């Protein structure tokens, strides 16, 4: 919507100032869409918050049926946000048009993905890769996944495969490239589970990759994100560089905890990253 509004304003520059850009960009949507489904609905910033009321007003008036899931009740949307009073009319309209259904069941089915599963595999070769493929399909409910993207500090980070709140990478995708703390934080917020294939044994020649891997594990751990990975060697043999010995000891300790039933059963603490 933001892109379409910007394009409309650019195209209509110098013309009638009274033209409503929201109405203009919603019109073609109304011609094609009767049902609009929004997953993980949330309000992150004032720009989106100000747009929502006008956008949903046009959608409701146009007869579009909207179905949305959210971890936030309508009354709590954009809670404590800047100029939140400007969003309250939208929340009232949303409650007027939508039937609110609480889905607070006793079972968190996402966490059952990990029940009884060993999330780490050790060694190299086809057997390990096949085991990782099986684990991936369990995490995604059988979905193969599709390429996706993360945007961080003006950069685009390719996600080779993503589905059902999980993302899958080769080790080289995450740790042999110039990624940093902000990028890993973005990843930990975007996905509940991260799978990494072919984590190598680290020696002096891979010190930079080792530091990135330690930072990645720390970030995932802090956010409660789940990690599945294949390692070339057992965890206590990962770090072979004396310069990162202390950091690796902490990293291995966290890796051990991250495969525990208690950690895998805990909630993901992902939250929105401010727009870069």
Q: What angle do CA 24, 18, 64 make, to 5 degrees?
A: 30
Are 120 and 235 within one domain?
Answer: yes
Surface-to-core class of residue 131, CB atoms within 10 Å of its CB (0-12 exposed, 13-18 middle, 19+ buried): middle
**Antiparallel, parallel or unpaired: β 226-231 and 146-152:** unpaired
Are 232 and 165 within one domain?
Answer: yes
Are 154 and 216 within one domain?
Answer: yes
Residue 111, pLDDT above cutoff 60: no
Number of domains in the chain: 2
Are 161 and 90 within one domain?
Answer: no
Q: Give the CATH number of the domain where residue 220 resides.
A: 3.40.50
Are 140 and 217 within one domain?
Answer: yes
- Within a domain: 223: yes
Q: What is the pLDDT of residue 47?
A: 77
Are 72 and 157 within one domain?
Answer: no
Are 152 and 227 within one domain?
Answer: yes
Among 97, 122, 151, residue at a domain's last position: 97
Domain that holds residue 40: 2-97
Q: What is the mean pLDDT of the chain?
A: 86
In the chain, the DSSP E strands lie at: 35-38, 65-68, 120-122, 146-152, 155-163, 166-170, 193-199, 226-231
Both tokens of residue 54? 């006008």
Are 83 and 49 within one domain?
Answer: yes
Cα 249 off chain centre by = 28
Q: What is the pLDDT of residue 268?
A: 80
Among 70, 97, 124, residue at a domain's last position: 97
Are 133 and 247 within one domain?
Answer: yes
- Within a domain: 104: no
- Within a domain: 106: no
pTM over 0.85: no
- Within a domain: 186: yes
Residue 107: band (very low, low, confident or very high) from pLDDT cuts 50, 70, 90: low
Which residues, in sequence order, are CB contacts of 235 under 8 Å at separation 6+?
120, 252, 255, 256
Give the CA count within 13 Å in the CB-facing half-sphere of 256: 10
Smallest CA-to-CA distance from 4 within 33, 27, 32 is with: 27
Residue 108, pLDDT above cutoff 80: no
Are 161 and 239 within one domain?
Answer: yes
Q: What angle do CA 235, 236, 237 make, to 5 degrees?
A: 90
Q: What is the pLDDT of residue 97?
A: 92
- Looking at per-residue confidence, does 66 or 268 come out higher? 66
Per-residue pLDDT tens for 198-256? Answer: 999 998 888 889 999 999 999 999 999 999 999 999 998 988 777 777 788 889 999 99
């Amino acid at each position: 919507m933001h892109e379409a509004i910007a394009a409309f304003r650019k195209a209509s520059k110098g013309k009638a100032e009274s033209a409503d850009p929201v109405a203009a960009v919603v019109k073609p949507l109304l011609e094609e869409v009767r049902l609009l489904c929004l997953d993980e609905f949330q309000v992150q910033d004032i720009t989106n918050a100000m747009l929502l009321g006008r956008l949903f007003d046009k959608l409701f008036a146009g007869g579009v049926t909207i179905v949305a899931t959210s971890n936030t009740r309508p009354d709590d949307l954009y809670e404590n946000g800047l100029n939140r009073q400007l969003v309250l009319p939208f929340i009232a309209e949303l409650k007027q048009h939508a039937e609110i259904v609480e889905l607070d069941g006793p079972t968190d089915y996402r966490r059952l993905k990990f029940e009884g599963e060993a999330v780490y595999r050790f060694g190299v070769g086809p057997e390990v890769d096949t085991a990782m493929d099986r684990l991936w399909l369990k995490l995604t409910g059988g979905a193969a996944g599709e390429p996706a993207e993360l945007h961080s500090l003006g950069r685009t980070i390719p996600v080779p495969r993503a589905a059902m709140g999980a993302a899958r990478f080769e080790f080289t995708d995450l740790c042999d490239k110039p990624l940093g703390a902000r990028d890993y934080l973005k990843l930990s917020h975007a996905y509940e589970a991260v799978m990494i294939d072919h984590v190598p044994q680290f020696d002096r020649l891979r010190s930079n990759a080792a530091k990135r891997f330690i930072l990645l594990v720390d970030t995932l751990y802090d956010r409660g994100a789940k990690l599945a990975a294949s390692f070339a060697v057992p965890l206590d043999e990962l770090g072979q560089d004396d310069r990162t010995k202390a950091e690796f000891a902490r990293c291995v300790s966290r890796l051990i905890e991250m495969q525990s039933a208690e950690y895998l059963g805990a909630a993901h603490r992902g939250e929105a990253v401010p727009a870069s």
